[in-house]
Amino acid sequence: MAKAAKGTGSTRSLKLPRLYPIMDAGTLTGRGLEVSHFAEELRDAGVRLLQYRDKAGGPAHILRNARIIADVFLGVDCLLVLNDDPVLAMLADWNAVHVGQGDTSVEKVREQLVQGGIVGCSTHNDEQVSAAEAACADYIAIGPVFATGTKADAEPVVGLEGVRRARALTKRPLVAIGGITMQNAPSVIEAGADSVAVISALLVDGRTVEEVARDFLKILR
């Protein structure tokens, strides 16, 4: 399986790569893209942090795709994160889960993962950042930083100032998400994010996902 960094809720236990691609099942299906091929392109580009998110698929479908991704990254030092479901993560032999505000709590997810599991948490305002900090999330995501069309129920935009405020509220790894592109990604890092999460920005007409991911990695060094 792909290796996963150990996490214990410590502010020093996890260092995230700058680029955090999210494989969103709905986006892939809408573009007619195969999970295995998309994962292979990210692997070949040098991606070492990846989340799989599927809001519509059933457990068997999600588990199947999680195992496909794990096979693609077999032997690669990459942290694979499953959205929402710690049980499916464990069944897929993953040990990292990302939860939103309406999902299982950070504390309960940590109880379900084997010792050293990683738990990330989405936040959308200062209060939620502080709560995720108190819950000892291994990393905290803040957003949407910019307007995004990936999520129909997106929270209000926080802007770069929201990233700065989040940075001031936590020393944990900070992931910025929402409307991030090749053009604005550097400004998000400058505002205090350790990593930028991207979804649709990886899909550029006339270019492969591998090429785009490589360019992201270059500008985020």
The yes-or-no verdict on residue 11 having pLDDT over 50 is no
Residue 116: the pLDDT is 87
Interval 122-146 mean pLDDT: 97
Residue 155: the pLDDT is 83
> Which residue among 43, 48, 110, 122 is the active-site one?
122
Known active-site residue 18: no
The predicted-structure confidence for 56-75, as pLDDT tens digits, reads as follows 999 999 999 999 999 999 99
> Which residue among 67, 151, 165, 214 is the active-site one?
151
Residue 152: the pLDDT is 60
The topology (CATH level 3) of 19-219 is TIM Barrel (3.20.20)
d(C-alpha 139, C-alpha 162), whole Å: 16
Q: How far is CA 157 from the centre of its chain?
A: 18
Known active-site residue 122: yes
Interval 188-196 mean pLDDT: 98
Q: How far is CA 81 from the centre of its chain?
A: 7
> Which residue among 43, 48, 53, 167 is the active-site one?
53
Contact partners, residue 101, CB within 8 Å, separation at least 6: 122, 123, 124, 128
Closest to 125 in 3D by CA, of 101, 170, 158: 158
The predicted-structure confidence for 86-115, as pLDDT tens digits, reads as follows 999 999 999 999 999 988 999 999 999 998
Known active-site residue 171: no
Find the helix packing angle between 126-134 and 159-169, rounded to 10°: 30
Higher pLDDT, 175 or 1: 175
The overall longest dimension of the chain from CA atoms, in Å, is 45
Give percent of the chain with pLDDT exceeding 90.
Answer: 86
Give percent of the chain with pLDDT exceeding 70.
Answer: 91
pTM for the whole thing? Answer: 0.92
The yes-or-no verdict on residue 12 having pLDDT over 60 is no
